[in-house]
Structure 1
Amino acid sequence: MSTPRTLVAMVALALAAVTASIPVSAATGLQRGFEAALAAEHWDAAARLADSLVRAREVRGGLSGVAAATLFDSLGRRIFMAGTPDAMTAAERLFRAGLARRERALGPDDLAVANSLATLATLLDYLGRWAEAVPLAKRALAIREQQLGERRAETASILRQLGLLQFQLGAYESAARPLERSAAIYDTLGAGFEARAADARNNLGELARVRDRLDEAEAQFQRGLAIARARLPAGDPIRLALANNLAGLFKDVARFDEAEPLLEDVLAILEAAGDDREALATARLNLAEVLRLQGRASAAAPFYARGLDEARATLGAEHPGLVPFLNQSAVCEQALGAFARAESLYLESGRIVVATLGREHPLVAQNLSDLAGLRRAAGRVPEADSLLRIALALRERALGRAHPDVALVLVELARTRAEADRDFEVPLGRAIAILDSTRAYPDARLDAYALRAEWNARHGRRTAAIADMGRVLTAMDSLRLQRGGGDETRTAFLAARARARGSR
């Protein structure tokens, strides 16, 4: 998905077209005050002074509605381009004032109104206020379709924006149609739109990935990368996003030897450029995940820490985009035995996601499931069970009962109930059935069979236990072909399972 830097550039280009001919005078006291506040990075004060300046020109200079809207946009753009959450929030009032002037002057269905709606939706997108942005994007889409038709680049752009907003909200089925329509339009536009066509493949790949259509996801990413490598420079944000997301897919299917070098290349390019901090943070997070999932939590920890620091600085303290950084950093801290630090991060993550996206968002289920693991490790098994049941219900409502992300919660629920020696087999049986049907999360499948083998052995079902452990070792051999490792990998795994049994 696109980074805030890309969004800033899009807004800057859109506004530059309508503001280039509007000089900003420093003749009045209000203007001088605005310039001083801007220089001092006092964004709220700058926005208030800008608002007063435009109103004064309307009253004293007879500024027309359209001209006032253009001036609001010009002044708002200067604040917006600071690129910080506080500056974006301050600029919002000016963009809203510009939109209101245009609607009064031109009517609700003018193309200029659609452009204002799209700009405001982009700003809200950056601020993580996705639910507020959706109706603005829908209005802009309706105007552009009516005025321009369905096959224009402007229509494709707003379809893309609407689809990505719905994706961020976890409304994956709602996101599919606008993203597919946007991609189809860009594919027909030809020369000059190669970057947009590559970006469209990236978005469709991410959508397929979360819907467990892994072959389709890989095909979309590879198609987008082929376009990007042929047409875009190595440091282009779209090209980097495609490589990053393809690596994420490889991570999901345990192809770590393919994921790690892709992410290292992306990180090296971003570090050399040094001017897109959120993209840098995301690259560090993804590389940290690949390292942790290979059992290298100590190596992953510095990447989590730096990524989280960069995300906080870029997004602000309450942005929902911060949640994956907090949650996965907590998972790493837990793996390293820093339970108090992990709990603090889990609780911060949960508070932000509920406050900004509501209790039904898929990220809530992830947070609750991970927090349950911490509670189980602390011996608080009933609390862990309760958290997992809530997480399971959330994922089933959002993704359906047969999604592999549902299976992950079922495995953890079975693990928790095994510790209490009750109601174990139903959730684990469901998890195994789901994981047997997908290529996603092969480690979780291996773990599920191992868990059932241990349960059967503990309850005297020796034949069933041997059969399940045979499946585990076969699966492990298959994974070793992808990751490397010799007999010591088997030995380490079996020793770990023995230690786990002994600790019960």
Structure 2
Amino acid sequence: MQRDILALRLEIMGQQHPDTMLAKSNLARTLSKRGHLDEAEKMQRDILSLSFKILGQRHPDVILEMHNLALTLSDRGQSDESERLQRDVLALQLEILGERHLDTIWAMNNLALTLYDRGQLDEAEKLQRKVMTLRLDILGPRHTHTISAMRNLAGILHDHGQLEEAEKIKRKILALTLEIVGGQHIDTIKAMESLARTLHNRGQLDEAERIWRETLGLRLEILGKMHIDTIATMDSLALTIYSYGQWDEAEKIWKEVLALRLEILGGQHRATIRVMSRIASTLHKRGQLDEAGKIWREILALRLESLGPRHIDTIDTMDSLALTLYGLGRWDEAEKMWREVLTLRLEILGQTHSDTVRAMKNLAVMLYNSRQWVEAEKMWREVFLLQLEIQGQQHPETLNASYDLALALYACGQFEEAAKLLQETVELRVQVFGEDHTHTLMAKKLLKTPSHVNGSAVRLIAL
């Protein structure tokens, strides 16, 4: 229909008539929403070029077309140009309409979300705070746009690690939503679940579990068991229960989630594979390593097929399978896989990424326990230097790395360097943990009786 309207207007009115340009703009937006991004982008560039020529850069219709093209470019993954266009839109709106105009605030909001998606959290947070402040002042706290701005800011703060402030804002959102739309409205349920996620990350598992159980009851009542949102809530409840150490109940819920997702989404959907990985992790925790290994191999085959060997999820699966193989005593196979994981993470993520450092730690432990002490010492030294650079001398992970390096040095017969490093580790652990902390006492014991170091197992870190 929209194509027919555009064809008629082109024939009768010509390309430059405002009604023709409007029809073309409407068709382009429809194409973009339906995922026909190549055609949408081409059409929007034509409209923008023509509008700019006829109306000039400061005309509202031109600014709108810049905004529409920016959204399409964002959906196509052309983030640099999308961000640049959105900055241009905001600058024009600020100049023409002023900071307090709703269209200007909308442009600020869109740019903040783009920056958030691109990982530019500092600038995104600053912009979103401004959006929230302006909307609170102009529209009031109960307006949907104000609540949306609060929600966006809380999400940025959550991902930025500012969980206390995120929780505070999310509690306000929940109170407002309950007051405005009631307890059974989907917006209220979403607000409850958003708060539960932040509480989970803050370690407030009791309240998080209570909220997840309440929202699951609401979703079962309103949407039914087969709805994907109900299943997602079951998944989240199981994750909180798992964090408690209630692995039996978590596994039971996840197996139900898996059965439902297999039926609704199929075996190759990423949500299905994700819950398979959670079941495998639970089985590993419970010591059922054979069954865990079987599932990890199945997941790895699925991810290799759908994502390829260089995707981060595929590499994470290899890491988890290697850990299970290590637990089964199949050290040669585990070592080979961990070497592959490390190579890929170094290449894709770089040496200082936390996942890369963790891969180095796992391989170092593997080498140490299989009495390949010279190579283990070399890798622990590299880990220790990286931890010093990234997290500083007093960070717990740096102190763990210095202790493990000391173990490897003792095993290699480098007693003088080992003793010096261990003495420094003891002194720092006293400062950080206290005299009677387990980590401090363990380091003191090794310093007093280093002769017992003979390649016995050390701490294995793998998340």
TM-score range, shorter chain: 0.5 to 0.7
| Deviation sequence 1:178-216 (CA, Å, 0-9, x none) | 333333322322338732322233333332333333323
Considering only CA atoms, is the larger Rg found in Structure 1 or Structure 2? 2
**Corresponding residue of 2:315:** 326
- 1:159 matched to 2:155? The reply is no
Residue type of the partner of 2:216? L
Over 3 Å counting, the alpha-carbon distance change for 1:246 and 1:366 in structure 2 is farther
Assess if the C-alpha contact under 8 Å between 1:72 and 1:98 holds in 2: yes
- Tell me the distance in 2 between the aligned counterparts of 1:367 and 1:109: 46
Q: Which is worse superposed, 41-50 or 162-171? A: 41-50
Q: Which amino acid aligns with 1:301?
A: W
1:277-313 CA-partner distances (Å, limit 9, x unpaired): 5544543443333233334341231454267459858
Which of 294, 301, 304 is equivalent to 2:296? Answer: 301
Of 372, 375, 394, which aligns to 2:361? Answer: 372
Q: Report whether the alignment pairs 1:146 with 2:137.
A: yes
- TM-aligned CA distance change 1:175 to 1:47, over 3 Å: same
The 8 Å contact of residues 134 and 166 in structure 1, kept in 2 or not, is answered as yes
Distance, in Å, in 2 between the alignment partners of 1:198 and 1:147 is: 27
**CA offset digits 1:345-393 (Å, max 9, x no partner):** 34544666669xxx6xxxx445423421212312433332552575599
Q: Distance in 2 between matches of 1:294 and 1:176?
A: 32
Q: 1:428 to 1:218 in 2, by over 3 A?
A: farther
User: Normalising by structure 1, what TM-score?
Assistant: 0.61
Match of residue 102 from structure 2: 111
Of the three residues 60, 68, 84, the one matched with 1:66 is: 60
The one-character-per-residue Cα deviations of 1:148-167 (angstroms, maximum 9, x if unpaired) are 12233322222222222232
* SS of residue matched to 1:243: helix
The residue identity in structure 1 corresponding to 2:235 is: N
Aligned pair in 2 of structure 1 residues 248, 149: CA closer, same or farther (>3 Å)?
Answer: same
Check conservation: 2:258, 2:276, Cα contact below 8 A.
Answer: yes
Percentage of identical aligned residues: 18
Match of 1:197 among 183, 188, 199: 188
Q: 1:346 to 1:272 in 2, by over 3 A?
A: farther
* Equivalent in the alignment of 2:253: 262
User: Which segments of 5 or more consecutive residues in structure 1 lack a partner in the other structure?
Assistant: 1-20, 438-444, 462-497
Contact map agreement 1:69 1:99 (CA 8 A) in 2: no
Q: What is the Cα deviation at residue 247 of structure 1?
A: 1.9
Aligned match of 1:47: 41
The answer to whether the 8 A contact 1:137-1:162 is kept is yes
The structure, 1 or 2, with the larger RCO (C-alpha pairs under 8 Å, 6+ apart) is 1
Q: 1:250 aligns with which of 241, 244, 258?
A: 241
Q: Distance in 1 between matches of 2:43 and 2:322?
A: 46
Is the contact made by 2:193 and 2:212 (CA closer than 8 Å) also made in structure 1? yes
Q: Scaled by the length of structure 2, what TM-score is found?
A: 0.66
CA deviations on 1:399-429 (whole Å, 9 max, x unpaired) are: x97xxxx6x8877875665455564995999
C-alpha distance in structure 1 between counterparts of 2:212 and 2:133, whole Å: 30
Aligned to 2:198: 207
Aligned to 1:230: 221
Q: Contact 1:284 / 1:303 at 8 angstroms: preserved in 2?
A: no
- The C-alpha deviation readout for 1:219-259, integer Å capped at 9, x for no partner, is 33233333333333435554333322222223333322212
Q: How far 1:42 sits from its partner (Å)?
A: 9.0
Give the direction of change, closer, same or farther, for the CA distance of 1:427–1:44 in structure 2 (3 Å limit): farther
Number of the residue aligned with 1:342? 338
Q: Distance in 1 between matches of 2:171 and 2:158?
A: 13
Give the conservation status (yes or no) of the 8 Å contact 2:383–2:401.
no
The code of the aligned residue for 1:214 comes to L
8 Å Cα contact 1:110-1:143 kept in structure 2: no
The answer as to whether partners of 1:385 and 1:417 remain within 8 angstroms in 2 is no
Q: Distance in 2 between matches of 1:170 and 1:328?
A: 26
Distance (Å, rounded) in 2 between the aligned partners of 1:350 and 1:164? 30
Equivalent position SS for 2:200: helix
Whole-angstrom CA distance in 2 between matches of 1:130 and 1:280? 30
Q: Does structure 1 conserve the Cα–Cα contact (< 8 Å) formed by 2:55 and 2:62?
A: no
* Structure-1 separation of matches of 2:358 and 2:160: 19
RMSD, aligned CA: 5.4
One-letter identity of the residue aligned with 1:51: R
**Pairwise mapping of residues 67-466 of structure 1 onto structure 2 (< 5 A)?**
67-74=61-68, 86=77, 99=90, 102-126=93-117, 130=121, 133-191=124-182, 194-236=185-227, 238-274=229-265, 277=269, 279-295=271-287, 296=289, 297-302=292-297, 304-305=299-300, 308=303, 312=307, 326-327=315-316, 329-336=318-325, 337-346=333-342, 348-349=344-345, 364-365=353-354, 367-378=356-367, 379=372, 380-382=375-377, 383-384=379-380, 386-387=382-383, 391=387, 417-418=406-407, 420-421=409-410, 423=422
Q: Which residue of 1 is the match for residue 330 of structure 2?
A: none
Deviations 1:114-133 (A, max 9, x none): 33443444455455555554
For this pair of structures, how many residues does the alignment match?
412
**Structure 1 residues 168 and 327: alpha-carbon distance in aligned structure 2, compared to 1, 3 A threshold:** farther
Q: 1:244 to 1:61 in 2, by over 3 A?
A: same
Identify which range, 205-214 or 410-419, moves more after superposition: 410-419
Runs of 5+ consecutive residues of structure 2 not aligned to the other structure: 326-332, 411-417, 459-463
Deviating more after overlay: 369-378 vs 268-277: 268-277
Q: CA deviation at 1:56?
A: 0.8
Q: What amino acid does structure 2 have at the position aligned with 1:374? A: L
